[in-house]
Structure 1
């Protein structure tokens, strides 16, 4: 059985303070991973990781990453506000959005964030609403299929994001004419891939495009943003991506393409979320029901409101029955939540040790896109977030929601709120 960063004895102490379900994060693992990434790209003097806030939007997590030298990538007004409050400012904030409201652009400009435009029409829209800054970036969508080693990794032609290649040339010329002094190039062409070839292949494409754009437009390209896409091994048999190998292969492409073109001052940026946080979080739950009908079910006190990925994507998350990690997996279960949706299942036909009511169940790899994708269907309340600190102590970094939180936005309905007070 695959191990997690927490053991039964530690969890037994934690649940004395915090009832399940809750998301738990490993500070030590987060810091060590951030340092590995930084070391892997240390050959590039301008390298910076802009953590994708959408993956784990918690200010305590953001502060940890800030201490490790990371910036933040924001995609909305709210994420910009959170990042500002956490102490990020100016070029430490990348703003990458689409179908962007004017209020978001205005705030991004106020914070002097680096704006990454998704669409050529946004040039005029940004100029009218907030003005054009001296440094700006454009997102590239090459269309077609994105292929590595004759395998289709993803289909950019189906994605709603980014400029076409011809729009990039037009957009860069327009921005230079409007006074932009430093331009960036960005692309996100595959999601959650553990292949070591993804970043190097993407880098070569972007480096070659940057050289072409520089010749076509005379634009000074200051940075190239490889965005996210490096995944994590959700399945036990998968091997993790080797970030050191990846860094060296990107360096090789840099030396072969950009240096001969006289563009060796380009900084390399990343916008990793899942890679940065995924393995360093887990969802801790308790088995509260057992049902035997056509199948054998174990019902948890957590549900898809706490972790949506299995219900939405059919995604695999490894499961540990705490204290039984070394027992044989000789029972077949569907592990479910309590939503009125049949897809509210964390696992289907999963072979696990025998589960008893009261057993603590840990669902692995929820550090990114776990709590963040939570919702309130069926009136379910989102769980707490807890940080396991480097010294072994715990810190509540987001309390669990209460019914009062759920009803708070109904304060316009005064009569209803008064009834709630006395019910």
Structure 2
């Protein structure tokens, strides 16, 4: 959602000075906003015993951000070895990490087992036999297939590569028991950037129903169910935000009813990433060129290597021109970067105030899947990341990539051989 008024007031008054000190471009994140969102999440779900958020590390994989999550007693949702490394370096213990991967390699299974292991969330029934040392606690990712209509972002569950089918569920847990598992969890992820809270309520209803099914078939009482992430944020100012309060109330009622009916109730986990950090970050870039051809173009000193969502999804990201909040939106611009790709555009035919070279542009909602999705195509490098602290100070939490970084993987010990020789 376009950044909160509080974040905007904290940031904009200091932004020219911050840009002068650090140079542009940079992503900057709002500690106060992240903490406020996390505490609110805990408060609205406090009626569910054992509720816990497992932050989706892929959304914003920065150690300083992960520290904030740890301070709120959140766990980490990881899907790769580097994400496991970061989480463990911050002191995450076995059940602080949910490892949800797909097409998992032997190397990844071995790494997941290190340092006391983690909550292993298997994506495929065929993986049961591939886990070298089967853990006591196991979880499976469930894909409802035709039993559920996917939301517009994540698509039709039948076409998704993730998860075990409905028909495989009982078999999966039976085989896990045969391999020695004695503790169990259940996971699903059927939405992305969903703003209709009722969709998430139905997801909770779905996993609780599945928990009853497995209990009836195998006498398994799940320790937890994980309803996944997918909580949306309104990128466009005209969109209404997710009604998290009503959602939490109705989900809590489902868990209460489950306990009354079954005599036990699993803990509830979730793995929000975008909802936790998305609105609390922005990309700050400077206008460096104005091109007037068939359209009016504003060229900036950043490109889609820093924020690729507009190019990848044609996603809307709100833009402010610093110091021109009250200026009339009298111009129509394409705001573009320097990449040799025609879709390297942050905005297309966007009505904005007149932009002069040197103006600072703030591109909203880069706090999730922004820097994390960056790349080095065309030799363009990813920018620095900053953290606006609660006390108003600004901290560098990731330096910008350098040309030396770009060439680092081409500095290696020569190695060659001739097959068959």
Q: TM-score range by the shorter chain?
A: over 0.9
1:263 Cα deviation (Å)?
Answer: 2.5
Trace 1:348-387 onto structure 2 (pairs within 5 A): 348-387=348-387
How many angstroms apart in 2 are the aligned matches of 1:355 and 1:2? 20
The alpha carbon displacement at 1:16 in A equals: 2.2
| 2:157 equivalent in structure 1 | 156
Tell me the residue number matched to 2:44. 40
Aligned mates of 1:306, 1:105 — CA distance in 2: 31
1:99 aligns with 2:103: yes
TM-score normalised by L of structure 2? 0.94
- Per-residue CA shift, 1:20-61, capped at 9, x if unaligned? 100000000000100011111111121110000000000000
Residue 178 (structure 1) shift: 2.2
| 1:412 Cα deviation from its structure 2 partner | 2.0
Match of 1:67 in 2: 71
Are 2:130 and 1:125 equivalent residues in the alignment?
Answer: yes
Residue equivalent to 1:417 = none
Q: What corresponds to 2:55 in structure 1?
A: 51
Aligned to 1:322: 322
Contact 2:2 2:364 in 1 (8 A): no
Q: CA deviation at 1:252?
A: 1.3
Which residue does 1:191 correspond to in 2? 192
Q: Whole-Å Cα distance in 2 between the matches of residues 135 and 372 of structure 1? A: 30
Q: Tell me if structure 1 keeps the 8 A contact 2:123–2:141.
A: yes
Moved more, 211-220 or 139-148: 139-148
Is the contact made by 2:137 and 2:184 (CA closer than 8 Å) also made in structure 1? yes
Please tell me whether the aligned partners of residues 332 and 350 of structure 2 are also in contact (alpha carbons under 8 angstroms): yes
Match of 2:121 among 93, 116, 122: 116
CA-atom RMSD, angstroms?
1.7
- The 2-side partners of 1:230 and 1:202 are apart by 12
Q: Distance in 2 between matches of 1:263 and 1:200?
A: 20
Of the structure 1 ranges 329-338 and 174-183, higher mean CA displacement relative to structure 2 is found in 174-183
Distance in 1 (alpha carbons) for counterparts of 2:343 and 2:147: 30
> In structure 2, the residue corresponding to 1:259 is in which secondary structure?
helix
The CA deviation string for residues 318-339 of structure 1, in whole angstroms up to 9 with x for no partner, is: 0001111121111100000010
Taking the aligned partners of 2:286 and 2:153, their CA distance within structure 1 comes to: 40
Deviation at 1:82? 1.0
Alignment of 1:193-208 (within 5 A): 193-208=194-209
Map 1:270-349; keep pairs closer than 5 Å. Answer: 270-349=270-349
Which residue does the alignment assign to 1:419?
none
User: Which of 146, 149, 152 is 1:144 aligned to?
Assistant: 146
1:16 aligns with 2:20: yes
1:146, 1:312 → 2: CA distance?
26
The aligned counterpart of 1:223 is 224
1:9 shift after superposition: 2.8
Shift of 1:151: 9.1
1:406 aligns with 2:411: no
**Unaligned 5+ runs, structure 2:** 415-421
Name the CA distance, whole Å, in 1 between partners of 2:270 and 2:153: 22
Any stretches of 5+ residues in structure 1 without a counterpart? 415-423
Contact 1:181 1:220 in 2 (8 A): no
Contact preservation (8 Å) 2:24, 2:285: yes
- Output the CA distance in 2 between the equivalents of 1:118 and 1:187: 10
**For residue 390 of structure 2, what is the aligned residue in structure 1?**
390
Which consecutive segments of 4 or more residues in structure 1 shift more than 6 A? Answer: 150-153
Deviation string, structure 1 residues 232-261 (Cα, Å, up to 9, x no partner): 000001111122211111111112234302
Q: Does 1:80 align with 2:81?
A: no
The C-alpha deviation readout for 1:120-142, integer Å capped at 9, x for no partner, is 0110001xx2x111111000001
Distance (whole Å) between structure 1 residues aligned to residue 104 and residue 153 of structure 2 = 30
The CA deviation string for residues 335-391 of structure 1, in whole angstroms up to 9 with x for no partner, is 000100000001100001110000000000000000000000110011000000000
1:238-257 correspondence to structure 2 within 5 Å: 238-257=239-258
TM-score by length of 1: 0.94
Q: Distance in 2 between matches of 1:237 and 1:346?
A: 18
